[in-house]
Amino acid sequence: MAELIWSFTHRPYVTLFLLAFLALSYFEQGKLRTLIWMVTGYLVAFIAEWMSTQYNGIPFGWYAYHYDELENDLVIAGVPFFDSLSFSFLSYVSFSFAQFFMSSFWFGPRDIQRVTPRRMRNSAFVLLLGTTLMVVIDLIVDPLAHLGRYWFLGDIYHYPSPGTHFSVPLANYAGWFAVGWFVIFLNQRIDGWLAAWEEGRGQKVVLRHLPLKGLFAPCFWAGFVIFQLGVTYWLGWGGVIEPEARTMGEANLIHTVQLQALTGTFIVVPILLLAIGHVLRPTSRALPEDVEAWLEEYPSEKLKA
């Protein structure tokens, strides 16, 4: 228990994003589905990470944790708890962001709601797009995590054979795609089963209305990648790594991190611009019949009124 408390208090960025996930998921799909997503996301990621560190590097590629740096963290079977837990909120926010791109919007006074029917929520394209958006996050996260010795993450792991993308092996991204795809696919199927069960009992998930809820997913996704990019820019131009890099004969490392920051920006900015354009596009306004059908699946007395 002490290790768990330490992980949450000394890694506040993980705690903050976890709380944001719980709030977003609760308002979008209710308590039961939120709990199921958190548990399944953690378990799938834990098994994948355990296999990668213990069984020939499948699916993330071969890497090794530095347990002296993790002595205060909760570590289960050789895998840091916070690391696997992060897959829960990263997969969900990517899934929700994918729904955002595929949805129309209901505009009210100081309000924007995303109109996403269940058939779209659980569609194959949302699965593919959500998985892709999760891998985009990792294109920013893992190269930065690999530099953990220079910031507050810590030097918690290394790749025995550094890869081609800022020292990260391409197998890592393939592993993220596989894990993200499976977590989203599994929860899509669970949602379908639960919906059929609830309909058979004459029950439906009644979701609480919250103003501007339709913008929560893109803001969460953007906040996460901007935080990661901000740390990367700080490392590249803040003079943080320069003394040690020069001492170790790694003067080029500074320029590599700067390139890493710029490359990440060129990846993320077009996605965020597309998200803004999607909301502002006149054709993104939901038709009255679409709103009515959506409220039949996800009742909200306040929106109906």
The predicted-structure confidence for 251-265, as pLDDT tens digits, reads as follows 688 888 999 999 999
Give the mean pLDDT of the chain: 90
Closest-CA residue to 76 (of 40, 44, 39, 50): 50
Type of residue at 175: G
pLDDT of 64 > 90? The answer is: no
Q: Is the pLDDT of residue 192 over 90?
A: yes
Question: In the prediction, which pLDDT does 244 show?
Answer: 56
Say if CB 172 and CB 142 are below 8 A apart: yes
Residue type, 131: T
Report the share of the chain in percent with pLDDT over 70. Answer: 96
Binned at pLDDT 50, 70 and 90, residue 246 comes out as low
Report the sign of the C-alpha dihedral through residues 162, 163, 165, 168, in that order.
Answer: negative
Backbone angles phi, psi at 120, to 5 degrees: -75, -40
Task: Pull the structure tokens for residue 88.
Answer: 């829960």
* pLDDT tens track for 71-89: 888 899 889 999 999 999 9
Mean pLDDT of the 122-139 span: 98
Q: How far is CA 137 from CA 9, 103, 131, 223, 257, in A?
A: 24, 21, 10, 11, 17
Query: Of the ranges 53-57, 58-62, 116-120, which is most confident?
Result: 116-120
Average pLDDT over residues 169-174: 94
Alpha helices in the chain (DSSP H): 2-10, 12-54, 81-102, 118-121, 124-145, 170-200, 216-237, 242-247, 252-280, 288-297, 301-304
Is the separation of the CB atoms in 78 and 53 below 8 Å?
yes
pLDDT at 160: 83
Provide the residue count of the chain. Answer: 305
The average pLDDT across 116-141 equals: 97
Give the span between the Cα atoms of 153 and 149, in whole angstroms: 7
Give the model's confidence band at 195: pLDDT under 50 very low, under 70 low, under 90 confident, else very high: very high
Whole-number Å distance between alpha carbons of 174 and 178:
6
Coil, helix or strand for 115? Answer: strand
Residue 199 predicted with pLDDT over 90: no
* CA 161 to chain CA centroid, nearest Å: 26
pLDDT at position 13 is 85
Q: What is the rounded distance in angstroms from the CA atom of residue 239 to the CA atom of residue 236?
A: 7
Task: Tell me which of 55-59, 99-103, 180-184, 255-259 is least confident.
Answer: 55-59
pLDDT reported for residue 284? 94
pLDDT tier for residue 8 given thresholds of 50, 70 and 90: confident
CB 88 within 8 A of CB 21: yes
Going by C-beta distance under 8 Å and a sequence separation of 6 or more, which residues neighbour residue 27? 207, 208, 210, 213, 216
Residue 106 has pLDDT above 80, yes or no: yes
pLDDT at site 148: 86
* Averaged pLDDT, 58-75: 87
Rounded Cα distance, 276 and 70, in Å: 40
Other Cβ atoms less than 10 A from the Cβ of 157: the count is 19
Q: Is the pLDDT of residue 120 over 90?
A: yes
